[in-house]
Structure 1
Amino acid sequence: MKIRNREELTSHGYRQGRKLALDIIEYALEKVDPYRATKASVRLCGRTLMVGDYSFDLGKVENIYVVGAGKATFPIARAIEEILGERITEGIIAVKDNQKRPLKRITVEEASHPVPDERGLQVCRKVFEIAEKAGSKDIVFCLITGGSSALCPCPVDGIPFSDKKIVHRLLVTSGADIMEINTVRRHLSAIKGGRLTSRILPATIINLTVSDVIGDDIDWNTDWTTADPTTLEDAVQVLKKYHLWEKIPDSVRTYLSEPSPEKETPKDFTGKLLYSHMVVKSRTLCEAAAEKVRDMGLTPYLLSSSFGCESREAGRFLASIAREVKLTGNPFRPPCVLIAGGENVVAVDAGAQGFGGPNQELAASAALELKDFDTIVVCTMDSDGTDGPTPFAGALVDSSTWRTATEKGFDVFRTLIDHNVTPMLKETGDLIDAGADTGTNVNDLVLCIIH
């Protein structure tokens, strides 16, 4: 079981709907398990290594190296080590705090997320050391999953690491989506935007990833080694769009204001021995949820797998559909379950001192709109088990949330404005505890059960 506080979550409110929501989540998370997916798609047959549709003759390979970082990287590394065993020469991966488990051939190090720290920088330097050992008869596995930007950071020359951390912090609270955030990060990183490839070549590169990007674009998921279509000017425009240009450190602004061919990221790796395989797609989470709903005898409606707006507004939008369904049977007849996936954002004003995350804000916003509807449940969580900077995965709410919060002295609307929903949801008993680690990391999952 991924959810640790199931008893608390189902002890109040619309219990039947809450139990259904948690059953759906548990099933969906199992279906996006990176360890199982890797074991299913990477196989060793004699001396032939099969990776998805690709095959590699290990009889011609001298060394196999493994590098990587991310919130879903450890289970992939574990599977690769079990498959290849002593064929692995050396490896290192970075995982978030409390994810570290021992492996025999691959070193596992913890680092900070979402804002990077020195531990991640040290891992990145070791990744470079391994990459530069690789020769033309070697294979380098790159296990890149969501969170790698923070867990394995290294700024380009001319930008202090402390300044790169400031940019990370500004971006994740700006309201920018993950592709915009990574557009900036790529151009300030010595490893992202395909820059690691130049250190690894002429060795063969095999990317394995779990998608946490809307649309499951392989290049955005594996951007240590794949060519970068964005430019320095694109990074500048993102910073200006979110009014960050004047807030970023001088070193970053100077670097981006003086473009040159040498500063640009690689744009083309045609003809290089570069292979990528996605072991889990983000959309699979929503599809698995729909499958479980059907097994329960209910009707699922997958609204979108690409939610990507302000979390408060996403909550209001979802609640408005739920009310319409309940009151008029339009556009769907109850009982039914609305499903959505993606990655919503929260724009936090400078100086805000609240504590919360995008999924918790979505849930609190929905709860405010559904306070008069006793048989509607909204459940929303980050699939990796941590919503924003909190140790909680998300929240499970219904009409009891607003009533309990009000009785305990909370103004639900005010907590949303102040981005301080976690303390309120903790008091109402509606926070989802997944132990800060589910073992996977695709997109968020949003459920709305309507009876």
Structure 2
Amino acid sequence: MVPKKLQSKRKKPKKKRTPLDPAEALARIQKREESLKKRIMKVEETKEILTKRKTERTAKKNALRDARIKLYENQVKNRCKTIQEKRMIQIREDMKSILVAGVDKVNALKVVNDKVKLDGTTMMINGVKYKLKNNVHMVGWGRETLMLGASLEKLIGKHLRKGFLVVPKGSVSGMWDNPLWFPALNSRITFLEGGSMGLPDDKSVEATCRIAEYCKKLRKADVLLVVLSGGTEALLNCPKGAIKLTEAEEVLSMLKTAMATPLEVNAVRHKLSAVFGGELARLAYPAKVVTLVMSDVPGNLPHLIAGSPTVNDPGKNAALAVVRKYKLEESLPSAVRDVLYEKPPAKDPLVNENNQFKFVDYHVLADTGDAIRGMTDAAFRLGLVPVTISSTVVGPVREVSRAYAQVTALMILAAEGKISKLEMYDAMKFDQVLPLSEEKVREIFPSKERWGLGLCLLLGGAPSADLSEKGRTGPNQDLALYFSLDWYLKVKENPILNDYVVWFLGGSTAGIDGNTQAAGAYGYGSLGPAVFKRYKELTQEESALDIKVRGMLRANPESPETQNAVKRYESLRDELSRVSAILPDRVLRERNANFMFMNINDGDELLNLDYTYTNVSDLHIIRIARYQCSCDGECLAPREEILSPKGLCQDEKCVANQMLPKILVPPRNQCCARSAGPKLKIY
């Protein structure tokens, strides 16, 4: 008997494969190819994302390194500066510290800790109590919601069941730069990125529609926290019905081209959206909706902040009338017309007699007024007397600048006893940008007894400035330059203003002004005029040298003196061309004020802040101080040195100078902080 190991294994007969249909075989091949293509695309997309993140990290490291190098270079450079220049540096630092204190006051982390409290299972917001029992859901839109959402989750803990926050592209990776912004390790929040260059895209629409579907599933016992920050319309976007994103954007573009008002555009935008104008709240009903807002709208008008997804907006029912007003109805896509033709219900059971939702609570966590209160404390610490003028300034920057120059001049004239309260009131009561009531005039009317080291006028709002693709500017930089010119004219009209040092600082609380990387800029009376003065000097010098060079070329063109004169003439013309490129009227006309600020005083007149992760519009500071001696310290020297010709103080208002015989008093020099003028550095 043959052992089993030695027995040959019989091979099982192979099953005969049925031949595939050629069409089916081709379909399989195509499917494999498509799968391979998708895999390759996914790999390439992942590589692109990783490369982009690496580039961003490298750019941040380089930016941090460059900032440290520049700080060190400035410190070295400042050691060699005169007392006048050091005073200017000190003024900039003091004003910046005041503005930064305002920004810190509305920091998202501090805002949540100050405004939202938790006592056991009871959450309290602005005095309103909410009972929590593992029934909280969170949705939000905007870059600031990174900090707001993470802070709220740490506060309410296990009561949060699920959260979705939509933020601009690149925000999540930037969140890890600061440990205070880290979400909990077991975070229940999903961060969704979308939007590109401030415009909606398919990802932002997909994220918002996903949130809308989630809100439909909420029940009566649930609490929905809606976290919003200003300027998030690009993220909070979900077209209604069968409307495509491109169709909705095209309709809005047509309205803007037809010169429709912002309110009219807003009405159509809300009508075409599945979430704007209170539609998100309707989807979440019957859940309790609690809205938490970082307001960037002066006056905190709810229907204008972040698309108002939880605020009932009856104005959207006028969208069809708006379209017909501008005769655009026939040119609209059919899906858009279908939505516009929808009629609202005769009676809405979800709203009260004031057209507000019965189940929605609305809380403003931070606004411009809060930031101004933070600046008030900082101004006090510097010895300045803070005067809050307004936190709701709106209008074109040109008009805002005139109003600011006017109220500054009135404050000085009032302190000098030249005008009364009634005259100040009459001058400002009908101002379109900065109207002052009788109560406000009584509150801010200054006196020399309450002056301290100077006055610090505090304002805020959202002045508007036109931006262009070619130029680089922002409302705060335009405002600083306009204020410089307006204040120069005010001083010319009333010489008594020349005895005061006046500086302006405007900055965005978001850290980005317009389409630039700067947050804002400084302005004072000699800033703009000094550029004009330098241009005039170069023009006169160029004209005189032109005549001289022509004569030298005719007399002896080959001589070294002639060649040197020609080189000097060419260099002068190049400098004249560069100065003409930064003339204030030119950069304002070309919407390129940032270019001028970068090319004077080594860029010191630009306000630079890191991204603040907050946004409550713009903050403005006007510093008013009495005339300061500009003698570079000679007045502090021994009397015998002052009496010597070399040690003469160049300031006739200097106390030491007033003690000298009249014959020794030299002509008055310009004050460093008022009219010495910037040193141009053009490149």
- TM-score interval (norm. to shorter): 0.7 to 0.9
Report sequence identity in percent. Answer: 24
Greater relative CO, 1 or 2 (CA 8 Å, sep 6+): 1
> Is the contact between residue 69 and residue 147 of structure 1 (CA under 8 Å) also seen in structure 2?
no
d(CA) in 2 for partners of 1:424 and 1:248? Answer: 47
1:154 maps to which residue?
238
1:364 maps to which residue?
481
Residue 514 of structure 2 is aligned to residue 397 of structure 1: no
2:511 maps to which residue?
385
1:432 maps to which residue?
607
* 1:4-403 equivalent positions in 2, closer than 5 A: 14-59=88-133, 61=134, 63-100=135-172, 101=175, 103=183, 104-112=187-195, 114-157=198-241, 159-165=243-249, 182-218=266-302, 220-221=304-305, 223-233=308-318, 250-251=332-333, 255=337, 258-262=340-344, 268-270=350-352, 272-323=358-409, 325=411, 329=416, 332=446, 335-347=454-466, 353-371=470-488, 375-399=501-525, 401-402=527-528
Q: Deviations over 1:90-149 (max 9, x none)?
A: 211122345322632212233335322333222212211321232222221100120221
Instruction: For structure 1, list consecutive stretches of 5 or more residues without a partner in the other structure.
Output: none
> Is the contact between residue 173 and residue 346 of structure 1 (CA under 8 Å) also seen in structure 2?
no
Mark the CA change 1:424 to 1:252 in structure 2 (over 3 Å): closer, same or farther. farther
Mark the CA change 1:168 to 1:14 in structure 2 (over 3 Å): closer, same or farther. farther
What displacement does 1:293 show? 2.1
What displacement does 1:352 show? 6.7
d(CA) in 1 for partners of 2:371 and 2:255? Answer: 26
> Is the contact between residue 71 and residue 384 of structure 1 (CA under 8 Å) also seen in structure 2?
no
> Is the contact between residue 378 and residue 397 of structure 1 (CA under 8 Å) also seen in structure 2?
yes
Instruction: For structure 2, list consecutive stretches of 5 or more residues without a partner in the other structure.
Output: 1-66, 79-84, 176-181, 425-445, 492-497, 535-578, 626-683
> Is the contact between residue 115 and residue 168 of structure 1 (CA under 8 Å) also seen in structure 2?
no
TM-score, with normalisation over the residues of structure 1? 0.83
Question: Relative to structure 2, which stretch is displaced further, 365-374 or 275-284?
Answer: 365-374
SS at match of 1:91: strand
Mark the CA change 1:266 to 1:311 in structure 2 (over 3 Å): closer, same or farther. farther
Mark the CA change 1:180 to 1:383 in structure 2 (over 3 Å): closer, same or farther. farther
What root-mean-square deviation, in Å, do the aligned CA atoms of Structure 1 and Structure 2 show? 4.0
Mark the CA change 1:278 to 1:266 in structure 2 (over 3 Å): closer, same or farther. farther
> Is the contact between residue 92 and residue 126 of structure 1 (CA under 8 Å) also seen in structure 2?
no
Q: How many residues were matched structurally?
A: 441
Mark the CA change 1:258 to 1:278 in structure 2 (over 3 Å): closer, same or farther. closer
What displacement does 1:309 show? 0.5
> Is the contact between residue 313 and residue 362 of structure 1 (CA under 8 Å) also seen in structure 2?
no
> Is the contact between residue 116 and residue 126 of structure 2 (CA under 8 Å) also seen in structure 1?
yes
SS at match of 1:151: coil
d(CA) in 2 for partners of 1:387 and 1:265? Answer: 44
Q: Quick check: which has more Rg, 1 or 2? A: 2
Structure that is richer in helix per residue = 2
What displacement does 1:418 show? 2.2
> Is the contact between residue 155 and residue 161 of structure 1 (CA under 8 Å) also seen in structure 2?
yes
> Is the contact between residue 43 and residue 49 of structure 1 (CA under 8 Å) also seen in structure 2?
yes
Question: Relative to structure 2, which stretch is displaced further, 175-184 or 438-447?
Answer: 175-184
Mark the CA change 1:170 to 1:284 in structure 2 (over 3 Å): closer, same or farther. farther
d(CA) in 1 for partners of 2:123 and 2:589? Answer: 53
2:554 maps to which residue?
none
Mark the CA change 1:81 to 1:255 in structure 2 (over 3 Å): closer, same or farther. same
What displacement does 1:403 show? 5.7
2:645 maps to which residue?
none
Q: For residue 589 of structure 2, what is the amino acid of its counterpart?
A: I
